[in-house]
A and B are shown apart, each in its own frame.
Chain A
């Protein structure tokens, strides 16, 4: 187990190194000059060159990348070109908001997805099942930007049930968490449905029913726990999927997380921030997958980690 963990951590470090190299390289070859963005339109050529030199952007790629790595190892993610602040400070200030949003989204997708999946499994083949499965298909395919604006318009503008964007209270969280979680809820309802159907077909359920236990008791106590367990392991993988969603959802709802930070930085070619957010996201994805893999043996003892 420990050897497995050590091996996975080394793998993770290599993956992060690779991500940092590829991102840094792509930003380096990007046909946009960050110095021009910093210097602005009225700067003289002298000012531009002076800034380029001070930021070390006149150095060859290898030197720039090496300097970045050396800084990174020492815990220095660099300074934002335009916000003139340490990237670590900017990310740390926004990370709690993103984590909260993700937690909210996980709760939302599980509650919606599992409930719909169970109902569909019980009524499998019926009209309700088909309706739910079509709904889940729509949920999976709907663009988050559209879902977000739709929810915002209906529940915040028209019905005034929730505030229009913002951050700070539970009511602020509901709509963005729902938007982010709705795609996952589509997946979960489908997985839960098939998992539940498998379990309901198994011998021990038939035995339990044959013993004369009530149907509801069999469903809740015997079938559901076993059907849900394999799904829980998927949450780790969700983190990766969320990372792509937060950029859109945070922008729509004015949620002060790292997705919004990334989006602003991309538009302004603020390379240190883009690098920082990419690496933090990559860490989250790698960790999420690792956790998912670590949990599996506890859920299904037949699986052994080697």
Chain B
């Protein structure tokens, strides 16, 4: 997956402003071998939480919601390349502050009504309304009138204007390079007002959208059935007649069932304990698709807590961790990292050296910091495999330079709480590691390394906050074009400066592995789609 390249194409789209998008939409060539029909079975361990696009925010319902709903913007299947969705095209004003979206005519909701500009306005007002309790409301912060919505003093976004039934004009209060990506998030999906009002709080159980599939049945605790939307506005897709999501299936059981041909895609992936066995079997390995993902696993060092308030100590820890050994521990399912951004993210610094693994130098730094005899600290970790094992490896590495780290292995919610409250000196992020919401370097900064996330309860567990770096980040996001090389260079600089302060030990970037049944067809990149996990349901098909 060449994200750099795709992002450059995206920049072409944004720079040439109008109608460039419409040309791009035809760039995706549907698979000539694809044939319509068939039902597939996808399994999950956990219940599906909700299918309300304003609320759903986990890796299980994200791709489901993507297939039930559409937003103004979308991604080319299997890539991170933006393409128009319900907007056929759009114009951007020269200052990058006003976006005019021209809606696709004749798009119908699952209830048969035609989608109009009023629905776009309603949907954006709804997701930013505090009463909706959307976890994604903050993404829309650059739309004019957002602050008044957030504090409850307005009930409509003043920046969203219905020009005519087929045109919506969105005005921003500040330039936002990521705005088109935000419009492609599930949170920006277009919903019909009458259905939302009919079901009220239960809309998430009775979703009505414009997507490729509609919800046909939901038996709580057992299964969900998606049926093909025969009126879908994109011609020719989806291929499948039906998708059955069976819930309550342990990953290990799902794998056994897949091996017997009873399951097509195990949604939770290959269980770590079985990974080697699967990959050593050529027939099974052939059905595993590997891909990169926009993910970084890291150790946070709480810069507000002695002795990690001392830069030399943080540098020493960075040099003490044997990242290669850790990737080996998880069967090589990841590549060692030296900076916050994953390699396929624009802004990644290719020639960055980072802190090399060097115990002697680390010990020397500790001694300079006044900890020649080391010290005792705590390492928080989520209690599911392989994280406690990784924590033990980190513990051993630290021991080698004289640091005694006591492992605190807790449930996810407890680790998040300790991290947010700033009570954890060190946290291994495994199981809660950052995965990008959208393919832009800014997404790895604000909530996890910026001042915004460093407050009480925030996800910035190092509590790292450098106002100068924050200012540079804000400046980088004020560009009109997200892929402007100058902007990306600024972001590279932001992350290089962050690493100089060493609030994190970037450990690895995890690879993604999707297993599928023999009959599943479609290009490999549909099975490691960066935005639809595990697979892009709209474009995969079955061969028998």
CB < 8 Å neighbour of B220 from A42, A93, A266: A93
B204 A164 Cβ-Cβ under 8 A:
no
Given A40-B57, A42-B437, A254-B250: A93 in contact with B221 (beta carbons within 8 A): yes
B47 A261 Cβ-Cβ under 8 A:
yes
A44 B131 Cβ-Cβ under 8 A:
no
B257 A165 Cβ-Cβ under 8 A:
yes
A94 B221 Cβ-Cβ under 8 A:
yes
| CB neighbours of B414 from chain A (8 A) | 30-32
B253 A44 Cβ-Cβ under 8 A:
no
A42 B447 Cβ-Cβ under 8 A:
yes
Bound Cα distance from A267 to B205, whole angstroms: 22
Q: Tell whether A260 is near chain B: CB-to-CB under 8 Å.
A: yes
Given A32-B417, A33-B457, A165-B253: A84 in contact with B52 (beta carbons within 8 A): yes
Interface residues of A in 147-162 (CB under 8 A from B): 149, 152, 156-157, 160
A41 B250 Cβ-Cβ under 8 A:
no
Bound Cα distance from A145 to B229, whole angstroms: 41
B420 A33 Cβ-Cβ under 8 A:
yes
B135 A82 Cβ-Cβ under 8 A:
no
Bound Cα distance from A79 to B249, whole angstroms: 24
Bound Cα distance from A298 to B85, whole angstroms: 72
Contact-residue size bin, chain A (C-beta under 8 Å from the other chain): 35 or more
B52 A32 Cβ-Cβ under 8 A:
no
Contact flags A214-255 to B (C-beta < 8 A → 1, else 0): 000000000000000000000000000000000000111111
| CB neighbours of B159 from chain A (8 A) | none
Q: Tell whether B31 is near chain A: CB-to-CB under 8 Å.
A: no
Q: Which of these binds chain A: B90-98, B136-144, B501-509, B514-522?
A: B136-144
A36 B413 Cβ-Cβ under 8 A:
yes
Bound Cα distance from A45 to B459, whole angstroms: 10
Q: Which of these binds chain B: A47-55, A58-66, A122-130, A198-206?
A: A47-55
B222 A167 Cβ-Cβ under 8 A:
yes
Bound Cα distance from A42 to B131, whole angstroms: 18
Chain B interface residue count, CB cutoff 8 Å, equals 56
Given A50-B130, A84-B50, A167-B222: A41 in contact with B459 (beta carbons within 8 A): yes
Contact flags B234-272 to A (C-beta < 8 A → 1, else 0): 000000000000111110110011001010000000000
Interface residues of B in 188-222 (CB under 8 A from A): 201-202, 204-205, 219-222
B420 A256 Cβ-Cβ under 8 A:
no
A42 B138 Cβ-Cβ under 8 A:
yes
B250 A48 Cβ-Cβ under 8 A:
no
Q: Tell whether B356 is near chain A: CB-to-CB under 8 Å.
A: no
Q: Tell whether A39 is near chain B: CB-to-CB under 8 Å.
A: yes
Q: How far is the CB of A147 from chain B (nearest CB, A)?
A: 15
B253 A82 Cβ-Cβ under 8 A:
no
Q: How far is the CB of A165 from chain B (nearest CB, A)?
A: 5
B133 A54 Cβ-Cβ under 8 A:
yes
Interface residues of B in 122-178 (CB under 8 A from A): 130-131, 133-139, 141, 150-151
Given A32-B413, A32-B416, A42-B437: A90 in contact with B250 (beta carbons within 8 A): no
Bound Cα distance from A268 to B253, whole angstroms: 22
Q: Tell whether A174 is near chain B: CB-to-CB under 8 Å.
A: no
| CB neighbours of A37 from chain B (8 A) | 413, 416
| CB neighbours of A264 from chain B (8 A) | 46-47
Bound Cα distance from A236 to B432, whole angstroms: 43
Q: How far is the CB of A176 from chain B (nearest CB, A)?
A: 12
Q: How far is the CB of B26 from chain A (nearest CB, A)?
A: 33
Looking at B150, B205, B413, B437, the one whose CB has the most chain A CB atoms below 10 A away is B413
A40 B49 Cβ-Cβ under 8 A:
no
- The chain B residue sitting closest to A40, CB to CB, is B135
B248 A260 Cβ-Cβ under 8 A:
yes
Bound Cα distance from A42 to B438, whole angstroms: 12
A54 B131 Cβ-Cβ under 8 A:
yes
- Name 17 interchain pairs, CB-CB below 8 A, sorted by A: A36-B420, A37-B413, A41-B459, A42-B138, A42-B447, A43-B138, A47-B133, A48-B457, A50-B133, A83-B49, A84-B55, A84-B202, A84-B205, A254-B253, A257-B221, A260-B248, A266-B411
Q: For the A-B complex with A251-B250, A267-B413 known, give 19 more contacts whose Cβ atoms are closer than 8 Å.
A: A32-B416, A33-B413, A37-B413, A37-B416, A39-B135, A42-B139, A43-B138, A44-B150, A44-B452, A45-B458, A54-B131, A84-B49, A84-B204, A149-B252, A152-B256, A252-B250, A254-B253, A257-B221, A264-B46
Q: Which 3 A-B pairs have the closest CB atoms?
A: A32-B413, A256-B221, A40-B135
